[in-house]
Amino acid sequence: MKIVAVCGVGIGTSAILKVNAERALDRLGLSADVDASDLPGIAAAAADAQIILTSTELSSAVRHAVGRNHAEIIEVSNYFDVEEIGAKLETSLG
């Protein structure tokens, strides 16, 4: 399984989302490759991804950028809330 964490410029915030998504997956006993991407590169980065993680703020831009890509877009409010990220991933995967 592949998950892509996306932010505007592909550093900083997407890196935090990536590490906390990995922690959430670990707690759920799941394994996945989690990549980080910037918004301009998301269509290519998410071509073979099942899930795209991003902020509420960026979700419509992400949806627009990926077009017909079938990856599910999950919106995260608090990037440091591993429980929130885990609950949303579990809902999506379960």
Partner 1 sequence: MILPPLPDDAILLGVHVDDWRAAVREAGRALVRSGSTRSEYADRMIAVIEEFGAYVVIAPGLALAHARPGPDVRREGLAVVTLAEPVPFGHPHNDPVRVVVGLAVSNAEEHVAWVAKLANAFNDRGIVGRIARAETPEELRALLGFDDRAGA
Which residues of this protein are in contact with partner 1, per CB under 8 A? 7-13, 15-20, 23, 36, 39, 54-58, 61, 77-82
Least distance to partner 1, CB of residue 48, Å: 20
CB-based burial label for 8 (10 Å; 0-12, 13-18, 19+): middle
The residue among 25 and 94 lying less far from partner 1, judged by its C-beta, is 25
**Residue written as token pair 């991804």:** 49
Nearest to 10 by CA among 47, 44, 42, 37: 37
The residue among 20 and 69 lying less far from partner 1, judged by its C-beta, is 20
The residue among 11 and 47 lying less far from partner 1, judged by its C-beta, is 11
Least distance to partner 1, CB of residue 54, Å: 8
Task: Count Cβ atoms below 10 Å from residue 88 Cβ, excluding itself.
Answer: 19
